[in-house]
Amino acid sequence: MRRKISRSLFPVLLVLIPAGTASAQDQRTLEGRGERLLTTNCSRCHAVGRAGTSTHPEAPLFRTLGQRYPIEVLAEALAEGLSSGHPDMPEFRFEIQDVDAILAYLESIQEPERGAAPQQTTK
């Protein structure tokens, strides 16, 4: 059975549909900025994408960082100065807008831990 949308509801739908699209587009823009920042600053040693290997043996794959700890815990380190225990890694400090973009990108590329059950999405 098909439902009819009342004429009074139609203008509301026209307003809501673009808002949802803009939000998804904004998210992709944010993730793209995060990817560019990581590619520029980190790809010399780290695999920053959904595939590939890190060129430095001690540099973790960015797509597996979420298996070690929640991605959002990186926010403070990225803003205050991220450094590593090995001497080859320079210290990085990012502006808060850049931190948001980096975290959005990292969240978007995380792969599940091997053997882990797929996550259920709720709507």
Residue 117 counted as domain residue: no
pTM of the prediction?
Answer: 0.73
CA quadruple 36, 76, 71, 106: dihedral, nearest 10: 0
Residue 122 counted as domain residue: no
Residue 18 counted as domain residue: no
Q: How many domains does the chain have?
A: 1
Residue 7 counted as domain residue: no
Residue 102 counted as domain residue: yes
Q: Which CATH number goes with the domain that contains 64? A: 1.10.760
Mean pLDDT of 79-84: 80
Q: How far apart are CA 31 and CA 103, in angstroms?
A: 8
Mean pLDDT of 46-51: 96
DSSP state of 4: P
Residue 86 counted as domain residue: yes
Whether the pLDDT of residue 14 is over 50: the answer is no
- What range does the domain containing 63 cover? 26-109
Residue 35 counted as domain residue: yes
Least confident of 21-30, 70-79, 112-121: 112-121
